[in-house]
Structure 1
């Protein structure tokens, strides 16, 4: 499954990765507020699951200069762009990248670190077939897990919701209606508190575990 998903993501982003950040900034809402809320302790380790082009990691590293950052993605095509972006930002000494599967990753093997003070997932769960496992994996290695992703547009016009979902489907993106329940279940398994909220009238959903 992970090999098939990796090939699918590489196919989707082989071209898109070159203009991904220019277009996504208009509709991947809530990413920057999540970065501001990371608040890692000095010297803390922060992991992004599904780092894509490293846009979020670079922004977070600049916002939290005393922390160390790590990220992985299943798409080697995206990672090629991420490595260039990190080098261009002169942050290669603070951001470490690797290829991995969000649903089944070995943090010590990837980064030599077993635990992270913060783990975040930004608009990745809606693209991961086994997304519930990705949440459980994040909770297993993170003291605090922050998630933002597409919501169910529950307070927005029905036509907007239908059009958005249809458009997202062309990119293998599926907003997860069970996101809250899965986050709550993962929190209970790890004996962690869970806080959830709807952003922008339900356009995006956010969860904090821990």
Structure 2
């Protein structure tokens, strides 16, 4: 069995039942998702891709926030995509949100969407669940327009929180096959050097979460984005 097929099998197993109450519970600890959506700001008519779209929660919120953009979501779990399609239908956004099953670490997975490149690519608490997460970041960069941006929010390393809280949280996350990536910022810096982009990283909630953007240097200079 290929690594992608094994990941799909694992994710379907994890979310077969959880998908029905996923959004209700995750809103209490997947912090920073709405900040990411506020920061997307795609151009009118722009194309936005979420790699690891899960239940479609972020795509629905973003589509409502930016009515002049089109949105696309990819996920490796058929179970999650089934829930996402139901949620998007209920929100009456099926005409603006397109879903596809595939491996986020494969840059060719989105070719069937018929979109040559995307104005925005984002990852919301996805990289901590993808075994080959570095490849997933590179795959998103490969599908990005020259003036596009990558947005990431995920678990941080809890630097300013009590050690007992970090240990308890990480142990609990491990039971769901979630691994906060200690090397995330370093990998983003590496990707920024390879792609000629500027990196902005912002710790959230005393290091509970981390928010990051990759964007072209000229675009960063125009709106005053900072560096770290």
Please give the TM-score of this superposition, normalised by the length of structure 2.
0.91
Note if 1:173 corresponds to 2:178. Answer: yes
TM-score by length of 1: 0.98
Moved more, 157-166 or 190-199: 190-199
Q: CA RMSD in A?
A: 0.8
The equivalent position to 2:89 in structure 1, one of 87, 90, 96, is 87
Matches of 2:214 and 2:61, distance apart in 1 = 22
C-alpha distance in structure 1 between counterparts of 2:133 and 2:104, whole Å: 8
Match status 1:201 vs 2:203: no
**Paired residues of 1:119 and 1:144 also in contact (CA < 8 A):** yes
CA contact (8 A) 1:74 1:99 kept: yes
C-alpha distance in structure 2 between counterparts of 1:100 and 1:193, whole Å: 28
Q: Which residue of 2 aligns with 1:191?
A: 196
Per the alignment, residue 45 of structure 2 pairs with 43
**What is the number of residues matched between the two proteins?**
210
Superposition map of 1:91-106 within 5 A: 91-106=93-108
Ranges in structure 2 where 5+ consecutive residues have no aligned partner: 216-228
Q: CA deviation at 1:108?
A: 5.2
Indicate if the aligned counterparts of 2:63 and 2:71 stay in contact, CA closer than 8 A: yes
Report the more deviating stretch, 100-109 or 14-23.
Answer: 100-109
| Aligned residue in 2 for 1:71 | 73
Instruction: Answer yes or no: is 1:131 the counterpart of 2:133.
Output: yes
The structural deviation recorded for 1:139 is 1.3
